[in-house]
Structure 1
Amino acid sequence: MAGFVSKQPNGLYCRFSTVTDCPTTWNMTREDYINMKMQEAKEDAEDVLDNYLKPFDMVMDMYYPNNMTKEEFDKFLEETGYSKGE
């Protein structure tokens, strides 16, 4: 986060950008700030799903039985609909 949030003297909130060196949003209620962050998260999530998906083969190629056993991974594959013939 290239900035910070501050509580203003009037009890509302502002966001200060350390990139632009000035406030970028002000007089926000707590709910306004939460809604802004939720919208940003939704837009980020949509961007990932629309533009940055990786092929499922990468999941197969990068799996290492360090934190999930081979049996657990095989169950995961079954639950995702993976078939060894694909």
Structure 2
Amino acid sequence: MLGAFATHSANAATSFTPTQEASLVKICKALKSDSRIKLNNAIKSSNLSYKLVANGLMCNGKSALEFAVMHEAQKTAGLLARKANINYDEMLAKR
């Protein structure tokens, strides 16, 4: 499972330290687990905000929120949407 942050510029290359990469992968795994506690701990330990994760993290080519929904992880998707101030119901309707 790969996690990578999208940058503002699609052409900009982003490199992460192994620790940063592991932290991002941990967030993706927590999203998939449907455990709000795991997600909260993963985001806190990464020193990232929920909004930054929701708007920038890509898990296997999907946005963090789409990734959680794809894996039927409603608890973590709902938590991420709520903390990032994203309308979860509207996002689901667009799918």
TM-score by length of 2: 0.24
Bigger fraction of residues in strand: 1
User: Which structure is larger by alpha-carbon Rg, 1 or 2?
Assistant: 1
Higher relative contact order (CA 8 A, sep 6+): 2
TM-score by length of 1: 0.26
